[in-house]
Amino acid sequence: MKIFKKFKVREKIPFKEQLPFIVLVSPFAISFIVFTILPILAAIALSFTDFNLVSINHIVGLENYIRIFLEDDVFMIALKNTMILALVTGPVSFILSFVLAWLLNEMPRGIRSFLTLIIYSPALAGNIYVIWQYIFSSDSRGFLNTYLMKLGIISDPILWLSDTKYNFAVVIIVAIWMSFGTGFLSFVAGFKALDRSLFEAAAIDGLHNRWQELYYVTFPQMGPQLLFGAVMSIASAFAIGSVNATLTGNPSPDYSTHTLLLHITDYANSRYEMGYASALAVILFVLMVTVWALINKVLKKFNA
C-alpha cells in the first residue's frame, strides 16, 4: 500500500517539475533509443525480408529462420562455438576477474594501481591481440614453435592458427586474456566501496576464515557489481568475433572458430544478405537475453 502511494505521489508531479529530469536524462535516452532500440526493432523487421543493402525484393516471412535452422550447416557450427566460448570464457573470466580483484585489494596502493593497469591494458588497448599472431605464428620460427622445437617437444612447426585441432583453443586463450575489462574494473571499485564496519561485526560474530568472510560479507555487499560483471563478461563472450577473424581468418579453416557474430558479418559484409544476417542477429539477441535472465536468477540472492 505504501509503495502504491509512493507511485501515486510521483505521478502527480507536474510536468513543469518533471522537465529538468527529462532534459537531464534525454541525451542518453535519445541516443539509446536511436542507436540501440531502433536498430533492434529494425533488425527484427528486416529479418522477415530479403533485404540486400540496396533493395528489399521480397517479404519472405519466416523463410530466413527456416533456412537458419534447417539448411545452414555452418550456423550449427557457429552456435556450438559461440556456446562453448560463452560457457568457457564467460565464467572463467568472471571468476578470474573477481579473484584477481580480490587479491589486488590486499595489495598496497601503488602496486595495486600498477597491476590493475597491467591487467586491464589488453582490454584497454583494443586490437592489441594481433601480437598473438606472432606468438602463435605457423612458421618454424614463430615464437612458440621455436621454443617448443628447441625444447624438443615438437619436431615440426605446428600450424597453430590454421590447424583445426589447435586454433579454437588459441582463440579461447586470447579471449580470456582480453576479457579483464569493465567487469574487472567494477570489481576493483566494488572492493573499495565495502563497508568495513560489517567485517568487524562479522568478526565479532565469529567468522572462522576468509572464505566465510567472502561468502557472508563480501558477496552480499557486492551484488550489483557481481551482476554487472557477469552480464559484461557473458555479453562480451557472446560477442567474440574480431579476435577469431584476425587470428584465424574469416571464414576460418573448416569454420573451426566460426562464431555467431562472424556468421552475421559474413552474411552482412561479404554476401550482403542483410535479411538473413538480421535473422541471425535476432537469434543472438534472444540468446543473450535468455542468458542474462538466467544470470539474474542465479545472482538474485545477492541482489537485495
Partner 1 sequence: MSKGKLFALMLAVLMLVNPFILSASAETKNAYVEDGENRLDTLDSYYSYFGKYGTADAPKGFTEIDGKDIVAAEYVDKAVSLIEGKDSAILSNENSWCEWKVEIPQDGRYALYIDYFALEASGKEILLSLEVDGKKPYTEATNLRLPRLWKDVVKEGRFEVDNIGDDIQPVQEECKVWLRDTFIDVEGLYSEPYFIYLTKGNHNIRLTVAREAVAISKLSFGNEEDPETYAEYISKFDNVDKNMGNESVIQAELIHAKNTSLIYPTYDRSDASTKPNVPGLLRLNTIGQSNWTTVGDSISWEADVEKAGLYRICMRARQNQNQGMNSYRTLSINGEIPFKEACNIKFPYSQKWYIKTIGDDNPYYFYLEPGDIITLTCVSGEMSEPLRNIRQSLLNVNAIYREIITVTSTDPDIYRDYFLSSQIPQIEERLSDMADFVKSTADMVSKITGTRGSQASELDYMSEMLQEFAYDPETIPERLSYFKDAINDIGSMISTLGSQPLELDYIAFVPDGAKTPSVNVGFFEKISFGISQFLSSFAADYNSYESGSGDKGKTVNVWVSTGRDQMRIIKNLISDSFTTQHGINVNLSLVDTGSTLIKASLSGKGPDAAILVGGPMELAYRGALVELSKYGLDDIYDEFYEGTWTPYRYNGGIYALPETMSFDMMFYRTDVFSELGLSAPETWDDFYKVMEVLQKEQLLVGIPEINAANMGVSDGISTFYKFLLQSDEEYFNSENTEVNFNTEKGYAAFYKWVELYREYGLPRQYDFYSRFRTGEMPLAIQNYTAYNQLSKAAPELKGLWTFAPIPGTRREDGTINRAQTAAFTGCIMMKAAVKHKRDNETATFLKWWVGNQTQSDYAQKLEGTMGIAARYTPANRITLKNIAWSVSEHEILDEQMAAARPIPAVPGNYLIGRSLTTAFRSAVSGKSSIRQALTVSVKSINDEISHKRKEFNLD
- Of 10 and 150, the one with the shorter C-beta distance to partner 1 is 150
Helix (H, G, I), strand (E, B) or coil at 303: coil
- Of 105 and 162, the one with the shorter C-beta distance to partner 1 is 162
Q: Which of 31, 121, 269, 303: binder of partner 1 (CB under 8 A)?
A: 269
Q: Using the 8-state DSSP alphabet, how is residue 193 labeled?
A: T
Residue 72 to residues 62, 83, 166, 276, Cα–Cα distance (Å): 14, 17, 25, 11
- Of 34 and 99, the one with the shorter C-beta distance to partner 1 is 34
DSSP 113-166: HHHHHHHHHHHHTSGGGGHHHHHT-SSTTSHHHHHHHHTTS-SS---TTT-TTT
- Of 270 and 303, the one with the shorter C-beta distance to partner 1 is 270
Binding-residue pattern over the window 34 to 63 for partner 1, x denoting contact by CB under 8 A: ----------------x-xxxx-x------
Binding-residue pattern over the window 57 to 96 for partner 1, x denoting contact by CB under 8 A: x---------------------------------------
Q: Which of 78, 119, 159, 243: binder of partner 1 (CB under 8 A)?
A: 159
Q: Which of 11, 17, 106, 156: binder of partner 1 (CB under 8 A)?
A: 156
The answer, yes or no, to whether the previous bond of 251 is cis (omega within 30 of 0) is yes
- Of 159 and 231, the one with the shorter C-beta distance to partner 1 is 159
CA–CA separation, 37 and 43 (whole Å): 10
CA–CA separation, 126 and 46 (whole Å): 31
Q: Furthest-apart CA pair in the chain: how many Å?
A: 78
Closest distance to partner 1 from the beta carbon of 88 (Å): 22
Q: Which stretch binds partner 1 (CB under 8 A): 13-21, 98-106, 157-165, 215-223?
A: 157-165
CA–CA separation, 16 and 21 (whole Å): 10
- Report residue 59 as a C-alpha cell: 517479404
DSSP 35-62: IIIHHHHHHHHHTTB---SS----B-TT
| Site size toward partner 1, by CB under 8 A | 28
- Of 139 and 195, the one with the shorter C-beta distance to partner 1 is 139
137 with 50: CB under 8 angstroms?
no
Closest distance to partner 1 from the beta carbon of 256 (Å): 10
Q: Which of 62, 139, 201, 303: binder of partner 1 (CB under 8 A)?
A: 139
Binding status of residue 246 toward partner 1 by CB under 8 A: no
Bridge partners, 49 (sequence order):
59
- Of 145 and 236, the one with the shorter C-beta distance to partner 1 is 145
Question: Cell 621455436 sits at which residue?
Answer: 146
Binding status of residue 254 toward partner 1 by CB under 8 A: yes
Binding status of residue 270 toward partner 1 by CB under 8 A: yes
- Of 1 and 54, the one with the shorter C-beta distance to partner 1 is 54
Question: Cell 537485495 sits at which residue?
Answer: 304
What count of other Cβ atoms lies within 10 Å of the Cβ of residue 219? 15
Residues lying near partner 1 in the complex (CB under 8 A) are found at 50, 52-55, 57, 138-141, 155-156, 159, 161-162, 248-255, 269-273
